[in-house]
């Protein structure tokens, strides 16, 4: 089984090398790493070249944002399974993709997901929030449930059937895509009860009050567009995050 990991990056000189090395360190032998750089203006390209390897493909050109870049990566992906490694993130250990591949061995499984830890940007050993996904049911979607996007892996055919990321969303295209896939496709998702990814705090959707408000509006739009829910689901989605600070949140 070939697994394609997609990384979209723009001006992340300080963290991109660790993200790439994290992918290269995986023990699963058949991994393709597609890196889509949005024509970075700092030292990102130099950092990428410093850790470049044979299993990596690099595209560097202007794009229209992260979801446009991810769509480019999906279009280039040759793997049976597609997952992400954001430029600020890194795998929790070197067996992550081996565990993902093992979960996909169950017939009919089209999606595999696990857990995620948010870590301090200043001290990556300090866990600030813990996202524990739990098992999936369709009813949970209407209660604001979603798996961590960076810890989600999909058979490539899911993208082929239902499309990739809707770039009319600036912040919530990942949530829209998850709702689209999990509500319309019999994915038979497999849950791995293990932390797969470490994410540094400070993502795009949390950088300002304006972004938080935009994220909420886009989340609501995604819920309505996919026929999953509305205001109540959005409220439960946001309230559910509180538990992440105490180790039990979805």
Tell me the β-bridge partners of 20: none
- Fold of domain 3-246: Spore Coat Polysaccharide Biosynthesis Protein SpsA; Chain A (3.90.550)
Instruction: Show the low-confidence residues of the chain (pLDDT under 50).
Output: 205-206, 248
Q: Please, what sign has the CA dihedral across residues 182, 152, 44, 118?
A: positive
Whether the pTM exceeds 0.85: the reply is yes
| Distant-in-sequence, close-in-space partners of 194: CB < 8 Å, separation ≥ 6 | 92, 99, 114, 115
Question: Can you give the pLDDT at residue 244?
Answer: 61
Question: Can you give the pLDDT at residue 205?
Answer: 47
- DSSP code of residue 165: -
Distance of CA 21 to the CA centre of its chain: 17
Domain boundaries, the chain: 3-246
Question: Can you give the pLDDT at residue 157?
Answer: 96
Helix (H, G, I), strand (E, B) or coil at 154: strand
**C-alpha–C-alpha distance, residues 216 and 237, integer Å:** 10
**C-alpha–C-alpha distance, residues 138 and 140, integer Å:** 5
């Amino acid at each position: 089984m070939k697994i394609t990991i997609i990384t979209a990056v723009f001006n992340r000189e300080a963290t991109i090398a660790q993200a790439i090395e994290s992918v290269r360190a995986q023990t699963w032998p058949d991994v393709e790493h597609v890196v889509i750089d949005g024509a970075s203006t700092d030292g990102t390209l130099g950092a990428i070249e410093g850790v470049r390897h044979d299993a990596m493909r690099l595209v560097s050109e202007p794009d229209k944002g992260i979801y446009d870049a991810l769509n480019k990566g999906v279009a280039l992906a040759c793997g049976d399974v597609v997952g992400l490694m954001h430029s600020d993130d890194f795998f929790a250990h070197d067996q992550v993709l081996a565990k993902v591949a093992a979960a996909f061995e169950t017939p009919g499984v089209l999606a595999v997901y696990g857990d995620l830890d948010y870590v301090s940007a200043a001290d990556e050993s300090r866990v600030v929030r813990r996202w524990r996904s739990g098992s999936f049911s369709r009813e949970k979607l209407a209660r604001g449930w979603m798996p961590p996007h960076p810890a989600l892996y999909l058979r490539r055919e899911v993208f082929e059937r239902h499309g990739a990321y809707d770039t009319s969303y600036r912040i919530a295209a990942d949530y829209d895509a998850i709702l689209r896939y999990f509500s319309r496709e019999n994915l038979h998702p497999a849950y791995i009860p293990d932390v797969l990814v470490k994410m540094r705090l400070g993502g795009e959707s949390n950088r300002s009050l304006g972004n938080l408000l935009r994220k909420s509006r886009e989340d609501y739009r995604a819920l309505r567009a996919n026929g999953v829910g509305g205001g109540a689901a959005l409220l439960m989605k946001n309230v559910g995050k509180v538990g992440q600070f105490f180790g039990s949140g979805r």
